[in-house]
Amino acid sequence: MRWYWIDRFIEFESGRRAKAIKVISLAEEYLHDHFPSYPIIPHPLIIEGVAQTGGLLVAEYNAFEEKVVLAKISKAKFHGDAVPGDVLTYTADVEYIKKDGAMILGTVHRGEELFGHMELVFAHLQNGHENRTLYEPRMFLQMMRMLGAYRIGHAADGGPLIEPAGLSGR
């Protein structure tokens, strides 16, 4: 299974906000175990989707130079269950991005309905972990391309979002 829990960015404003959609399909294998004959996307996987939306937003702000990890889910509330056929919209708003990490306020909507909200804390790995290879920055870049961030995104100055120099190589 590929660990992608969002399907496409529909908004990406560098350092400020990102919106992504997640289409839930009965073709996703885990739904047949959760639960047999009663498929519901587990809430932690929705949190992971919001974390991917927000994590890429934080990582892009620092040109993918920081090792951004989801450190803490301070708060998460859901108001129902999402099922195959639902389209969820994840919105990640930057509360702030600092040297040590970032905080994101996330919401989940199904259509106009507020389906869930959360606060996520991301850390920039330090104290000896900064040299650990968790992933290559290019992996994030490929994910950004595949999710369409550079097609629809905007830089902080309002211009088009561009790939960071030095991370090219299609």
| Catalytic-role residue among 32, 34, 43, 124 | 34
Q: Which is nearer to another protein, 25 or 126 (CB)?
A: 126
Give the three-state DSSP class for 96: strand
Nearest-CA neighbor of 50 among 85, 99, 90, 89? 90
Q: How many CB atoms lie within 10 A of CB 163?
A: 16
Compute CA distances 114 → 107, 136, 149, whole Å. 7, 35, 24
In the complex, least distance from residue 119 CB atom to another protein, rounded to whole angstroms: 8
Please report whether residue 75 would count as binding another protein according to CB under 8 A. Answer: yes
With a CB cutoff of 8 Å and minimum separation 6, the contacts of 150 are 144, 160, 161, 162, 163
Please report whether residue 130 would count as binding another protein according to CB under 8 A. Answer: no
Starting at the edge strand found earlier in the chain, the sheet holding 101-110 runs: 8-13, 17-23, 87-97, 101-110, 113-124, 68-78
43 included as an active-site residue = no
Taking residues 35 to 74 in sequence order and writing x for each that binds another protein by CB under 8 A, - otherwise, the string is ------------------------------------xx-x
Q: Which is nearer to another protein, 63 or 73 (CB)?
A: 73
Please report whether residue 32 would count as binding another protein according to CB under 8 A. Answer: no
Please report whether residue 76 would count as binding another protein according to CB under 8 A. Answer: no
Please report whether residue 101 would count as binding another protein according to CB under 8 A. Answer: yes
* CB contact at 8 A, 130 and 156: no
Binding site for another protein (CB under 8 A): 71-72, 74-75, 95-96, 98-101, 103, 119, 121, 123, 126-127
User: Active-site positions?
Assistant: 34
